[in-house]
Structure formats: C-alpha cells, structure tokens
Structure 1
C-alpha cells in the first residue's frame, strides 16, 4: 500500500491518503476520490495543467518510474524534464521530480505530491 500526501497552498492542510496495491488509477483519480483538487483540463497528458512535483520518502524503492510518450513530450515542452532525465528514468530507473497527475500511477511507495493549485504549476 502506498501512502500519498498531497501538499498545496490551496489546501487547508496536507491530505494523506492510502493507495491500494495493484490499483491502476492515476494520481489525479486518487486525488479526486479524496476531494483534493489538482487543476486539469484534458486527462490525456496533452495540456500539462496537472503538473505535480513528486517527492519520494525514504525506505522503499521507487517503482512508478515509467513515463508515457505524451508525458515526456508535455513535460519537455513545459521545461520540467530534460532528455537526460528521460534517459535516466528509462535506463537507470531514476525517478524524475515532475510528473503529470493524469498519467502517473503510484505503486507501493510513499510520497509527497506537491502542486501549486495553478494549472501547469508545481512547487
């Protein structure tokens, strides 16, 4: 089970939720289920409005490294990921700091998901 804490200046306080192991719902779906409003426009990985910063907590290996092709392209167009970071993710399994909530599926890992509340913004 993953423990995910959503952190944003738009929240009254941080919101910590549990993601069930084996669940294939995105972080955006998990946020909505728990009344956390991450800005989003498309749910397809094209617009970048659901940009989040992912901070992994120590103790468990990082598992949700894979980026979709749309996520790579959108994060690059936003200037939030470099070609070197994409290669690190694909070859060395190094998690990039920024993701799209509509594309990112949390696995059995604990993390803090930070977002500004502004479309395309992250802390």
Structure 2
C-alpha cells in the first residue's frame, strides 16, 4: 500500500491518495481521482505526461522498470542520459523524470510533481 501525493499548479493544494500496487499506471491512478496530469497518447510515445517523482520515507526505492518506449521518449526529450539510464538498469536507482502513463505504482510513498503543461519539466531548483 502506498500514499501518492500529487503536486501541480492545476491543483488548489497537494492531493494525497492511497494506492494499491496492482499493475496500474500512475496516470490511471490520477485519472481515477480526477487529477489532471496532462496526457495525449497514453502509450509512452509523446512525452506529454512527464512527471518528476520523489521517493518519500526512509526505505530505499524499489527496483524500477523503464519500458523501451519510456527510455526512448525520455532520452529524445533530454530527460534520460546514458549515465542515469545505467544507474537505473544496473543499480536500481530510479530516474527523477518518468512518464505517468508508463510508471507502475509500487508499494512506496512518492511525491509526483507535474506542471499542467504537456511535456514541460518541473524546475529542479525548488
């Protein structure tokens, strides 16, 4: 079981929802709770559902899985360098940026930030 907190300018305040790790995507969880993460293709090809994921709590983040589509889309958009991809695949260190339509909800607490504009990144200096 996990708490997923959504943060974005289209929300009046951060919204935390209780999620079950059931092979559903973060985008489907957001849609279920009427949280307007931008999306277009829902297939990992357009990059419009770009999110920043921060892992909360003391536990090490669980092993992640980047789909081939997500790898390509994030790489083309400059959000996934070879070094970050290697850290993800070899050392199970999750990348900061993901696609909500490809990210499977795990049993861990996370903060999901999005801008409300398709494919626009969150400022990391915040």
Matches within 5 A, 1:1-123: 1-21=1-21, 23-123=22-122
**Separation of aligned partners in 1, 2:93 and 2:9:** 28
TM-score (norm 2): 0.93
Q: CA deviation at 1:61?
A: 2.5
How many residues align? The count is 122
TM-score (norm 1): 0.95
Aligned-residue Cα RMSD (Å) equals 0.9
Structure 2 gaps, min length 5 = none
- 1:76-110 per-residue CA deviation (whole Å, 9 max, x = no partner) reads 11111101111110000001000000000121110
Structure 1 gaps, min length 5 = none
Moved over 3 A (4+): none
- 1:10-57 per-residue CA deviation (whole Å, 9 max, x = no partner) reads 111111001113x11100000000010111000110000000000111
SS of 1:3's partner is strand
